[in-house]
């Protein structure tokens, strides 16, 4: 008899599962999101439960039916012959999942199915089965997508990723089936068949090491379990199952002699103790080796001198353990160890943080997407050449020698820019400036220097550019930056920058909260290179801030959309009588307060106001002698009652601000909207002068449309 079955799997592993099920004898397979549907006889279904390293559950379909309301659900479940599948004296549980269905509460649906099953047994047997949600004899799965319902028997019982060996865990462990998927993607079985060794230098509780040993030792993961869901099923064939188990045990015994050296190390002694306990529970304590050791050289790992194999690890990534600043150094050290001590080996590193991946300092030959829970990760694959090769070195003519022609072209352009702009920056006392801004269209990034740090922003590539090509070009850039700019790799911060809408531009990108103090003329300012899309200092507005400082003496200064208050600091240093900074974000106002205090300014003469600038303007009285307005191009913040569009709303905004401008006062208006057109006819009360040309700094002159800047005065109040 052939059955319709479904194997669930972690998202991203569907293609691997399809291949695995085919090797186990499955037929008529169809890959869907987070699983594979297939047909098989009972023996193959058992093999899938026993041998699948990737599946989470194996579900045997019992019935398909249409569901439009709870009564249809109850009737269909009541009419199904449950007595053919389990006895009234057994326990059962029901799991339900709903997708775009007419029923919306999965727990209620599960209770309705339970009621139908109980009622059927009571009506036919005079007794009812009991519920056991933790360890039932039978687990029933119901899936409802729109109005199509599917009842299934869970052959696995507990999730198949629970092999039975994990007695102890540390922080953020990988699930066993995800670990197996990663090993298969890294081609571990082929490496092991050739006698290659395995090493996880940051093994945690040992999941990757143990799964590597199970694969190399031809051990069916189901052998470690003492219970499956089908064992309580009335149609279970114990003899068939016993034969398959005996076959698996025979294969395990035959393969033990050819298992290569497999080791795991960790700097945390508790993690190593947990790994030893887990290995013993898996029956592998004589097969694998665990030891407390920090990231050391290959000779320490393999005193017998293995010359090839696989280095595979799941190091911490900022979302789970530690801060990125510390982790960048760790990833850089990983790259150094791979290059110097594991030549000729294959390596694979799992990370959810692209920036940390770049810190390894090696060009991955490919990457594979996996999901560790809800966290999107990349498995970066490397082949370490037999000779030690530095990514970038200098030739006799002082040019970078890069691994690709594209990387060398980028390096040449960057070096040329640095030579010209570096001389200009030193002459003018500028420590934060842009050295590259998509000069070569195929290398669409912006490179900014911040007092010894590099802030690299990748512009989102056009849809016509292949994603793999874009990634390779970004790797070209990362490859040459340390050498050309003479900065450590861990001091390069990488961000992918896309067109932002509304409050997205203010969305937090990281969790570090670390600030770097930089100088801009006399001003000391705090920047944050990691946490937000922008750093807290708009480099293209440097001349505007300098202009404000020169204009501010003995004046009352108003900074609307104040952001981090850098313009306010320049006004205060320029001798402003008082400053008022208004912004809707408390985060940025606190940043502005810290910037002011860093320069010695605080108290009632330097007000910080949290408010919607548009609403605040409408409600204010009084006068200011110098006003600076640099609004977002568009905003739809939840704190605003209406959206703001600078092109649509600049006339009403400036009209309200002009009402507060004193006689002889100046209003500086700036916008980064590249398509902006100033409607001077709609502001007859103002004399407007376009000062954009003088507001563009030397390091942004390639892009004259980076912003627009205007100086306004009252038409009737003076020149």
Q: Is the pLDDT of residue 44 over 50?
A: yes
> Averaged over 52-80, what is the pLDDT?
97
> Averaged over 575-603, what is the pLDDT?
96
Which tens digits make up the pLDDT trace of 482-493? Answer: 889 988 887 888
Contacts of residue 299, Cβ cutoff 8 Å, sequence gap at least 6? 305, 341
> Averaged over 211-220, what is the pLDDT?
98
Cα separation, 331 vs 350, whole angstroms: 11
Q: Is the pLDDT of residue 296 over 80?
A: no
Q: Which of 521, 603, 516, 604 is nearest to 564 (CA)?
A: 516
- pLDDT confidence of 324, banded at 50, 70, 90? low
Q: What is the pTM of this model?
A: 0.66
Tell how strand 346-351 and strand 309-313 pair up.
parallel
For domain 532-714, the CATH superfamily is: Vaccinia Virus protein VP39 (3.40.50.150)
CB count within 10 Å of CB 466 equals 10
Q: Is the pLDDT of residue 116 over 50?
A: yes
- pLDDT confidence of 506, banded at 50, 70, 90? very low
Contacts of residue 657, Cβ cutoff 8 Å, sequence gap at least 6? 558, 560, 617, 627, 629, 667
Which long-range contacts does 686-690 make (Cβ < 8 Å, 24+ apart)? 686/654, 686/658, 686/712, 686/713, 686/714, 686/715, 687/712, 687/713, 687/714, 687/715, 687/719, 688/712
- pLDDT at res. 548: 98
- pLDDT at res. 715: 79
Fold observed for domain 176-216+256-383: Rossmann fold (3.40.50)
Cα separation, 598 vs 6, whole angstroms: 62
Would you mind telling me the total number of residues written for the chain in this entry? Answer: 719
> Averaged over 420-447, what is the pLDDT?
92
* 629-667 CB burial, b ≥16 within 10 A, e <16: bbbbbbbeeeebeeebebeebbbebbebbbebbbeebbb
Which tens digits make up the pLDDT trace of 627-672? Answer: 999 999 988 754 555 789 999 999 999 999 999 999 999 999 999 9
Cα separation, 63 vs 149, whole angstroms: 8
Of residues 166 and 470, the one with the higher pLDDT is 166
Give the percent of the chain with pLDDT over 90.
71
Contacts of residue 495, Cβ cutoff 8 Å, sequence gap at least 6? 355, 455, 456, 457, 458, 509, 533
Q: Is the pLDDT of residue 281 over 70?
A: yes
> Averaged over 615-636, what is the pLDDT?
92
Q: Which residue has the tokens 């998927």?
A: 181
| 222 within 8 A of 228, measured Cβ to Cβ | yes
Looking at 3.40.50.300, 3.30.750.80, 3.20.20.140, 3.40.50.720, the CATH number of the domain 393-498 comes to 3.30.750.80
Q: What stretches of 611-706 adopt beta strand conformation (E)?
A: 624-629, 634-635, 644-645, 661-671, 686-690
Q: Is the pLDDT of residue 67 over 60?
A: yes
Tell how strand 393-394 and strand 400-401 pair up.
antiparallel
Strand order in the sheet with 27-32: 27-32, 35-41, 2-8, 57-66, 148-154, 138-145, 91-99, 130-131
Q: Is the pLDDT of residue 100 over 80?
A: yes
Sort residue 170 into left (φ over 0), alpha (ψ -120 to 50) or beta: beta
Which whole-number Å values give the CA distances from 545 to 515, 595, 630, 670, 706, in the listed order? Answer: 21, 14, 11, 11, 16
> Averaged over 213-224, what is the pLDDT?
97
| 384 within 8 A of 421, measured Cβ to Cβ | no
Q: In what helix (H) or strand (E) does residue 568 lie, and over which residues does it extend?
A: helix 566-573
> Averaged over 469-475, what is the pLDDT?
81
- pLDDT confidence of 386, banded at 50, 70, 90? confident
Sort residue 173 into left (φ over 0), alpha (ψ -120 to 50) or beta: beta
Cα separation, 633 vs 647, whole angstroms: 8
Of residues 718 and 467, the one with the higher pLDDT is 467
Q: Is the pLDDT of residue 157 over 50?
A: yes
- pLDDT confidence of 504, banded at 50, 70, 90? very low
CATH 3.30.750.80-classified regions of the chain: 393-498
Q: Is the pLDDT of residue 719 over 60?
A: no
Q: Is the pLDDT of residue 413 over 60?
A: yes
Q: Is the pLDDT of residue 298 over 70?
A: no
- pLDDT at res. 400: 42
Q: In what helix (H) or strand (E) does residue 593 lie, and over which residues does it extend?
A: helix 586-598
- pLDDT at res. 402: 54
- State residue 660 phi and psi, 5-degree precision: -95, -5
- pLDDT at res. 462: 66
CATH 3.40.50.150-classified regions of the chain: 176-216+256-383, 532-714
> Averaged over 397-407, what is the pLDDT?
59
Give SS3 for 664: strand
- State residue 637 phi and psi, 5-degree precision: -55, 145
| 4 within 8 A of 61, measured Cβ to Cβ | yes
- pLDDT at res. 499: 42
Looking at 3.30.470.10, 3.30.2130.30, 3.30.230.70, 3.40.50.1100, the CATH number of the domain 2-154 comes to 3.30.2130.30
- pLDDT at res. 279: 96
Cα separation, 484 vs 268, whole angstroms: 37
Q: Is the pLDDT of residue 501 over 70?
A: no
Q: Which of 87-96, 227-236, 460-469 has the lowest mean pLDDT?
A: 460-469
Cα separation, 635 vs 500, whole angstroms: 10
- pLDDT confidence of 514, banded at 50, 70, 90? confident
CATH 3.30.2130.30-classified regions of the chain: 2-154
Q: Which of 65-69, 261-265, 506-510, 687-691 has the lowest mean pLDDT?
A: 506-510
| 192 within 8 A of 257, measured Cβ to Cβ | no
């Amino acid at each position: 008899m052939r059955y319709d079955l479904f194997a669930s799997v972690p998202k991203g592993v569907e293609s691997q599962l399809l291949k695995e099920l085919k090797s186990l004898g499955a037929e008529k397979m169809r890959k869907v999101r987070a699983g594979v549907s297939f047909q098989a006889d009972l023996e193959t279904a058992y093999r899938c439960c026993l041998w699948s390293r990737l599946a989470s559950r194996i579900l045997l379909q019992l019935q398909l039916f249409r569901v439009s309301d709870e009564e249809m659900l109850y009737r269909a479940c009541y009419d199904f012959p449950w007595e053919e599948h389990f006895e009234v004296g057994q326990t059962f549980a029901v799991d339900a999942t709903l997708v775009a269905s007419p029923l919306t509460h999965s727990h209620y649906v599960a209770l309705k199915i339970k009621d139908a099953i109980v009622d059927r047994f009571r009506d036919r047997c005079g007794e009812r089965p009991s519920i056991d949600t933790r360890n039932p004899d039978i687990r029933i799965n119901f899936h409802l997508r729109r109005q199509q319902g599917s009842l299934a028997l869970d052959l696995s019982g507990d999730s198949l990723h629970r092999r039975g060996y994990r007695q102890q865990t540390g922080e953020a462990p990988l699930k066993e089936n995800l670990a197996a998927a990663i090993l298969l993607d890294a081609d571990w079985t082929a490496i092991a068949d050739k006698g290659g060794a395995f090493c996880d230098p940051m093994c945690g509780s040992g999941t990757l090491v143990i799964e590597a040993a199970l694969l190399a030792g031809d051990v069916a993961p189901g052998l470690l379990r003492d219970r499956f869901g089908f064992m309580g099923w009335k149609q279970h064939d114990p003899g068939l199952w016993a034969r398959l188990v005996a076959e698996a045990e025979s294969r395990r015994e035959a393969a033990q002699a050819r298992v290569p050296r497999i080791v795991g190390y960790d700097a945390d002694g508790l993690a190593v103790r947990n790994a030893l306990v887990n290995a013993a529970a898996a029956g592998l304590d004589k097969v694998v080796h665990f030891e407390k050791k920090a990231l050391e050289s290959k000779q320490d790992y393999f005193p017998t001198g293995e010359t090839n194999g696989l280095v595979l690890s799941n190091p911490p990534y900022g979302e789970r353990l530690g801060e990125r600043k510390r982790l960048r150094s760790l990833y850089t050290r990983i790259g150094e160890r791979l290059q110097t001590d594991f030549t000729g080996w294959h390596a694979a590193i799992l990370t959810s943080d692209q920036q940390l991946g770049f810190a390894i300092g090696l060009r991955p030959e490919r990457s594979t997407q996996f999901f560790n829970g809800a966290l999107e990760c990349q498995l970066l694959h490397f082949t370490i050449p037999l000779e030690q090769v530095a990514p970038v070195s200098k030739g006799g003519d002082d040019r970078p020698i890069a691994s690709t022609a594209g990387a060398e072209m980028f390096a040449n352009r960057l070096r040329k820019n640095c030579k010209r702009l570096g001389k200009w920056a030193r002459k003018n006392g500028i420590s934060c400036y842009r050295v590259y801004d998509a000069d070569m269209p195929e290398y669409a990034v912006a490179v900014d220097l911040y007092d010894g740090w590099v802030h690299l922003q990748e512009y989102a590539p056009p849809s016509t550019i292949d994603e793999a090509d874009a990634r390779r070009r970004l790797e070209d850039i990362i490859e040459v930056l340390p050498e050309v700019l003479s900065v450590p790799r861990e001091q390069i911060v990488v961000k992918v920058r896309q067109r932002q809408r509304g409050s997205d531009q203010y969305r937090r990108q990281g969790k570090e909260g670390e600030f770097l103090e930089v100088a801009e003329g006399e001003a000391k300012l705090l920047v944050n290179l990691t946490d937000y899309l922008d750093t807290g200092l708009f480099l293209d507005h440097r001349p505007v801030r300098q202009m404000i400082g020169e204009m501010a003496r003995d004046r009352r200064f108003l900074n609307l959309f104040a952001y981090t208050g850098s313009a306010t600091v320049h006004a205060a240093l320029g001798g402003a009588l008082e400053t008022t900074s208004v912004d809707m974000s408390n985060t940025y106002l606190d940043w502005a307060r810290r910037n002011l205090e860093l320069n010695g300014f605080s108290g009632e003469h330097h007000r910080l106001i949290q408010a919607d600038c548009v609403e605040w303007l409408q409600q204010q009285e009084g006068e200011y002698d110098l006003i600076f307005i640099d609004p977002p191009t568009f905003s739809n913040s939840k704190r605003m009652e209406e959206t703001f569009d600078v092109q649509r709303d600049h006339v009403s905004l400036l009209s309200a601000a002009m009402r507060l401008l004193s006689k002889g006062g100046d209003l500086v208006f700036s916008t980064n909207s590249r398509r902006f057109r100033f409607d001077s006819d709609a502001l007859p009360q103002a004399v407007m002068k376009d000062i954009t040309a003088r507001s563009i700094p030397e390091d942004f002159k390639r892009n004259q449309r980076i912003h627009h800047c205007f100086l306004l005065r009252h038409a009737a109040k003076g020149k």
